[in-house]
């Protein structure tokens, strides 16, 4: 916008300068034209003109022409002077004076009386009123002047000339031809205008020059006005086009923006010539946030530019012609191709993933850009851009969910999944309204004593419509459809109610309640206040509460989420990083997170016995690092005793899993805690000797 406005201003200034310069040029006569009528190429002859009883002769001296006329006796029409033939010798081929404004005459005149007048005449030929054989028939355009001074310069505007009546009368010229005509002027004359007394009349013509301007003031103004008007129209339409382009362009990459690509696709789909072969590739850069966090936003921006350039150069290398590429937002891009055959759709996506295997070098950094790609093809049912986009987006979401750096094509199963998710979201909404949730509690044990020290609060839904759909499925859907805040708050309040109700029991049997909260809460500015007011309302000792947030929710960490974590901590509540190991937290980053506990993800525990030992090595490292940061460790998903022994040996502080107990209702938990048999069963799992069967792993 600014660039364009500057451009406009520059054009206006330039135009203003040009206008001023032209005006000045005109004003100081630099645009003047002139033509001599007393010598030069236009003059074919200079002769004496006279009528009456006159003795006369013509002399030429140093460019001056002098007519000496002696009037002997006065008659009615005496005249004498100089005639200058113009143009060719033939009288029908004169010169055109219409481009001139005035004639400037330098002359001397003496006569035997004061105030003697002269006449300046232009005689022109036009077949409508003139006759080639009769010189007098040339139209008589004249003006009388009174030179007054002996030696003078007179300037006569050409529009002051008039056609003499005697001439019009003589040749019976109608009104339409009785006006001054200076086209095709065959002679210019300077003669006496009346000779009332006898004596010597002398006319000397020093010079006769026609003067004019390349353009008249009025014409100039008209021209200026036209130029300004034209410029204004051009600028406005340029501005309009530029605005149109700008509003359709992403300023960072120069690609289309969402609006631009929507227009492109809509135009394509509406075109009667378009077949349905339009493929949309929806790219979402994997973990782009991490690039921004690690290298800063400028590098992030540069990476987006380089990413788009790499895709574009691939398209031109492969000679794909009919495509449109857009940056939809942040790290999301969309590529539309018209020329990809159905059997090439996947190959194209594979090739994109391949060209992104090469890292992008930015300064000293080599950054690997991986993308999740969703593919959708326009077909008879895809009527518009939004449909196509939604399909590609859903497929992309699938690719992300399936582990990133891969592509997925929108197909029946994706579409069914979308339908399922939408329906489930509706059911969750109803369950929230009808309060159809309850809580289960899963024991967490001290690994040295196998006493139950905490419980993880797990949500259950008793709505019939959600039968068979566990929280592992409905929680992510609730997050996707932004229903999670209600759920989180419900779980916290229900847990607090339970704790308050069981205050006496819990005083004897102190338990820490581990409550799961969604990543969305880290961006909920009200969360810590809500938490505090619930703590106060139910008189809860905050040291009995631990909140679990998944490690992956911290991938998107920013100042706000870290602040929220600090606020929660300052209430006296503990924090645990759930599903630890599945995210990308560099161990060194742990210092930045105000957490108390790491919960090692079940997937690591499941594969502790894998022959390549990698999972076991990772778990060992996690526990060692957690210890060095003084963080408590919990291993979740323990299903067999070997897993427990192995982890206990490594120094993992707490255990949770089906081996010890499944999630259960509150009353069952109380019964379990009171049951000596259950306690015996638990204690029987304790390692027999200090040296466990580490060797097994
Ligand atoms: P999570 O936070 O990782 O919870 C642990 C899940 O693993 C629970 O499943 C638990 O039953 C299961 N689990 C624990 N030990 C074992 C084991 O030894 N074997 C097996 N097979 N499973 C084990 P659940 O209750 O289905 O919860 C699934 C997920 O749903 C939770 O994963 C959590 O992410 C989410 N969730 C559950 N309740 C809530 C809640 O109240 N609020 C929020 N925001 N999320 C919740
Ligand atoms: Ca959890
Ligand atoms: Ca977990």
Give the domain CATH number at 76.
2.60.120.430
**423 within a domain of the structure (yes/no):** no
* Residues 361 and 442 placed together within one structural domain of the fold: no
Atom of ligand 1 nearest to the CA of 457: 41
pLDDT band at 694 (very low <50, low <70, confident <90, very high): very low
Which of 410, 444, 468 marks a domain boundary? Answer: 410
For ligand 1, atom 16, which residue shows the shortest CA distance?
637
Instruction: Report the range out of 30-39, 238-247, 330-339, 530-539 with the highest average pLDDT.
Output: 530-539
The DSSP symbol for 584 reads -
Residues 17 and 40 in one domain: no
Which range, of 137-146, 310-319, 368-377, averages the lowest pLDDT? 310-319
The answer to whether residue 120 is domain-embedded is yes
- Give the chain's mean pLDDT: 90
Closest Cα partner for 660 from 686, 689, 638, 642?
Answer: 638
What DSSP letter does each residue of 336-388 carry, written as one string?
A: EESS--GGGHHHHHHHHHHHTSSPEEETTEEE---EEEEEEE--TT--SHHHH
Ligand nearest to the CA of 638: 1
Give pLDDT, residue 392.
Answer: 93
441 and 529 part of one domain: yes
Using the 8-state DSSP alphabet, how is residue 273 labeled?
Answer: T
Ligand 3 center to 609 CA (angstroms): 20
Question: Do 341 and 384 fall into the same domain?
Answer: yes
Q: What CATH number does the domain containing 293 carry? A: 3.30.70.270
Instruction: Please provide the DSSP assignment of 287-354 as one string.
Output: THHHHHHHH-HHHHHHHHHHHHHHHHHHHHHTT--SEEEEEEETTEEEEEESS--GGGHHHHHHHHHH
pLDDT 10s digits, 428-449: 999 999 999 999 999 999 999 9
Q: How confident is the model at residue 135 (pLDDT cuts 50, 70, 90)?
A: confident
pLDDT the model gives residue 695: 44
**Is 429 contained in some domain?**
no
Whether residue 225 is found in the same domain as residue 208: no
Interval 455-476: pLDDT, tens: 999 999 999 999 999 999 999 9
Last residue of a domain, one of 410, 442, 475: 410
Question: Is position 428 within any domain?
Answer: no
Beta-carbon contacts of residue 606 (< 8 Å; ≥ 6 apart): 637, 639
Average pLDDT over residues 539-547: 97
The answer on pLDDT for 692 being more than 80 is: no
Distance, CA of 209 to CA of 308 (rounded, Å)? 71
pLDDT exceeds 80 at position 693: no
Residue 422, in any domain of the structure: no
Distance CA 187, CA 93 (A): 10
Rounded to the nearest angstrom, the distance between the alpha carbon of 599 and the centre of ligand 3 is 7
Residue 103 or residue 365, greater confidence:
103
pLDDT band at 691 (very low <50, low <70, confident <90, very high): very low
Ligand 1 pocket test, pick from 458, 490, 548 with the greatest ligand atom count within 8 Å of Cβ, gives 458
What integer pLDDT is reported at residue 521 of this predicted model? 93
> Residues with beta carbon < 5 A to ion ligand 2?
516, 548, 578
3-class secondary-structure state, position 165: helix
Centroid of ligand 3 to alpha carbon of 470 (angstroms): 14
Residue 60 CB neighbours (<10 A): 10
* Residue 533 belongs to some domain of the structure: yes
Q: Which of 247, 267, 296 is the last residue of a domain?
A: 247
Q: Is 525 helix (H, G, I), strand (E, B) or coil?
A: coil
Q: Where on the phi/psi map is residue 36: left (φ > 0), alpha (ψ -120 to 50), or beta?
A: beta
Q: Check whether 381 has a pLDDT greater than 80.
A: no
Whether 16 and 157 map to the same domain: the answer is no
Same domain, yes or no: 616 and 529: yes
Tell whether 18 and 116 lie within a shared domain: no
Q: Which residue has the higher pLDDT, 360 or 8?
A: 360
Note whether 241 and 331 are same-domain residues: no
Tell whether the model's pLDDT for residue 242 goes beyond 90.
no
Element (H, E) at 497: helix 484-501
User: What is the residue range of 139's domain?
Assistant: 33-213
Are residues 614 and 469 part of one domain?
yes
Residue 48's closest CA among 153, 151, 202, 162? 202
* 471 pocket-lining for ligand 1 (C-beta < 6 Å): yes
Q: How far is the CA of 637 from the centre of ligand 3 (A)?
A: 8
Q: Phi and psi of 547, rounded to 5°? A: -105, 135
pLDDT at 687 over 80: yes
Sign of CA dihedral 585, 586, 592, 594: positive
Cα 287 to ligand 3 centre (Å): 21
Determine the distance separating the centroid of ligand 1 and the alpha carbon of 458, expressed in angstroms: 6
Q: Are 602 and 658 in contact (CB under 8 A)?
A: no
Are 455 and 513 spatial neighbours (Cβ–Cβ below 8 Å)? Answer: yes
State the CATH number of the domain containing residue 639.
3.20.20.450
What is the number of structural domains in the chain?
A: 4
Residue 667 included in any domain: yes
> For residue 59, what are the contacts with CB-CB under 8 A and spacing of at least 6?
65, 66, 68
Full DSSP string of 605-658? HHTTT-TT-HHHHHHHHHHHHHHHTT-EEEEE---SHHHHHHHHHHT--EEEST
CA-to-CA distance for 644 and 694, rounded, in angstroms? 10
Tokens of residue 323, six digits: 């495509």
Beta strands in 25-87 (DSSP E): 32-36, 43-51, 53-61, 64-73, 79-86
Q: Mark whether 26 and 37 lie in a shared domain.
A: no
* Closest to 500 (Cα-Cα) out of 546, 539, 452: 539
Cα separations in angstroms, 406 against 65, 305, 409, 552, 581: 101, 21, 10, 19, 21
Q: Which of 428, 432, 480, 516 to mutate to test the pocket of ligand 1 (most atoms within 8 A of CB)?
A: 516
List, in sequence order, the alpha helices (H) in 28-124: none
Nearest CA to ligand 1 atom 17: 637
How do beta strands 118-124 and 139-145 pair?
antiparallel
Q: What is the pLDDT of residue 219?
A: 82
Q: Has residue 593 got a pLDDT over 90?
A: no
What average pLDDT score do residues 623-649 get?
95
Q: Is 640 in the pocket of ligand 1 (CB under 6 A)?
A: no
Which pLDDT score, from 0 to 100, does residue 363 have? 85
Q: Is the pLDDT of residue 220 over 60?
A: yes
Q: Are residues 475 and 525 in the same domain?
A: yes
In a domain, 78, yes or no: yes
Q: Whose CA is nearest to atom 10 of ligand 1?
A: 663
Judge contact between 515 and 498, C-beta under 8 A. no
Measured from the CA of 599, which atom of ligand 1 is nearest? 3
**For position 146, what pLDDT does the model report?**
85
Cβ 518 under 6 angstroms from ligand 1: yes
Ligand 3 centre and the CA of 623: distance in Å? 16
> In this model, does residue 689 exceed pLDDT 70?
no
| 150 and 206 Cβ atoms separated by less than 8 Å | no
Residue 524 has a pLDDT of 92
Please check whether residue 451 is in contact with residue 655, taking contact to mean a CB–CB distance below 8 angstroms.
Answer: no
Interval 254-301: pLDDT, tens: 999 999 999 998 888 887 766 668 899 999 999 898 888 888 889 999
| Cα–Cα dist 442/498, whole Å | 15
Question: pLDDT tens digit string along 153-200?
Answer: 899 999 999 999 889 998 888 888 889 999 999 999 999 998 999 999
The 8-class DSSP code of residue 573 comes to -
| Sheet of strand 118-124: strand arrangement | 43-51, 79-86, 185-192, 118-124, 139-145, 162-163
End-to-end CA distance of the chain: 66
Q: 3 exposed, middle or buried (CB, 10 Å; 0-12, 13-18, 19+)?
A: exposed
């Amino acid at each position: 916008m600014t660039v364009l406005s500057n451009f406009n201003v520059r054009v206006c200034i330039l135009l203003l300068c040009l206008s001023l310069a032209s005006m000045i040029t005109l004003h100081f006569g630099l645009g003047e034209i002139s033509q001599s009528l007393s010598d030069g190429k236009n003059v074919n002859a200079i002769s004496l003109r006279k009528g009456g009883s006159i003795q006369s002769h013509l002399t030429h001296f140093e460019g001056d022409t002098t007519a000496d006329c002696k009037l002997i006796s006065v008659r009615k029409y005496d005249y004498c002077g100089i005639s200058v033939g113009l143009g060719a010798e033939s009288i029908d081929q004169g010169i055109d004076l219409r481009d001139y404004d005035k004639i400037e005459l330098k002359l001397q005149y003496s006569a035997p009386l004061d105030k003697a007048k002269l006449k300046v005449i232009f005689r022109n030929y036009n077949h409508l009123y003139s006759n080639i054989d009769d010189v007098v028939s040339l139209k008589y355009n004249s003006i009388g002047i009174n030179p007054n001074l002996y030696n003078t310069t007179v300037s006569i505007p050409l529009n002051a000339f008039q056609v003499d009546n005697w001439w019009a009368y003589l040749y019976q010229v109608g009104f339409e031809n009785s006006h001054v005509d200076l086209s095709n002027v065959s002679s210019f004359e300077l003669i006496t205008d009346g000779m009332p007394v006898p004596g010597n009349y002398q006319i000397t013509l020093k010079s006769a020059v026609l003067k004019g301007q390349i353009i008249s003031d009025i014409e100039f103004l008209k021209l200026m006005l036209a130029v300004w008007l034209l410029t204004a129209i051009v600028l406005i339409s340029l501005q309009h086009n530029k605005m149109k382009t700008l509003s359709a362009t992403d300023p960072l990459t120069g690609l289309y923006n969402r609006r631009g690509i929507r227009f492109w696709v809509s135009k394509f789909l509406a075109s009667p010539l378009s077949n349905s072969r339009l493929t949309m590739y929806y790219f979402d850069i994997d973990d782009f946030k991490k690039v921004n966090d690690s290298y800063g936003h400028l590098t992030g921006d540069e990476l987006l530019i380089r990413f788009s350039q790499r895709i574009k150069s691939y398209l031109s290398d492969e000679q794909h012609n009919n495509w449109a590429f857009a940056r939809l937002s942040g790290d999301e891009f969309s590529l539309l191709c018209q020329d990809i055959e159905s059997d090439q759709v996947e190959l194209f996506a594979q090739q994109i993933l391949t060209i992104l295997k090469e890292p992008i070098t930015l300064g000293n950094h080599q950054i690997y850009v991986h993308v999740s790609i969703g593919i959708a093809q326009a077909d008879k049912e895809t009527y518009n851009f939004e449909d196509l986009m939604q399909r590609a987006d859903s497929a992309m979401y699938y690719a992300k969910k399936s582990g990133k750096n891969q592509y997925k094509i929108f197909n029946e199963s994706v579409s069914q999944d979308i339908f399922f998710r939408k329906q489930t979201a509706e059911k969750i909404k109803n369950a929230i309204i009808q309060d159809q949730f309850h809580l289960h509690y899963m024991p967490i044990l001290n690994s040295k004593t196998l006493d139950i020290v905490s419980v993880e609060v797990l949500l259950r839904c008793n709505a019939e419509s959600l039968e068979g759909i566990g929280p592992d499925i409905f929680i992510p859907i609730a997050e996707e459809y932004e229903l999670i805040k209600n759920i989180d708050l419900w779980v916290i309040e229900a847990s607090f109610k339970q704790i308050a109700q069981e205050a006496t029991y819990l005083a004897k049997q102190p338990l820490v309640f581990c409550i799961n909260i969604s990543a969305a809460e880290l961006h909920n500015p009200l969360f810590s206040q809500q938490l505090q007011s619930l703590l106060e309302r139910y008189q809860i000792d905050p040291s009995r509460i631990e909140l679990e947030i998944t490690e992956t929710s911290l991938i998107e960490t920013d100042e706000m989420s870290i602040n929220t974590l600090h606020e929660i901590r300052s209430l006296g509540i503990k924090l645990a990083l759930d599903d630890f190991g599945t995210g990308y937290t560099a161990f060194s980053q742990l210092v930045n997170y105000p957490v108390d506990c790491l919960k090692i993800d079940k997937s690591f525990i499941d594969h502790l016995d894998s022959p390549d030992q990698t999972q076991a090595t990772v778990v060992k490292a996690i526990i060692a690092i957690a210890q060095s940061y003084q963080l408590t460790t919990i291993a979740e998903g323990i299903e067999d005793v070997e897993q427990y022994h192995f982890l206990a040996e490594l120094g993992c502080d707490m255990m949770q899993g089906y081996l010890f107990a499944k999630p259960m209702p509150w009353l069952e938990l109380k019964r379990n805690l009171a049951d000596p048999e259950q306690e015996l069963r638990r204690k029987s799992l304790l390692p027999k000797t200090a040296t466990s069967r580490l060797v097994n792993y």
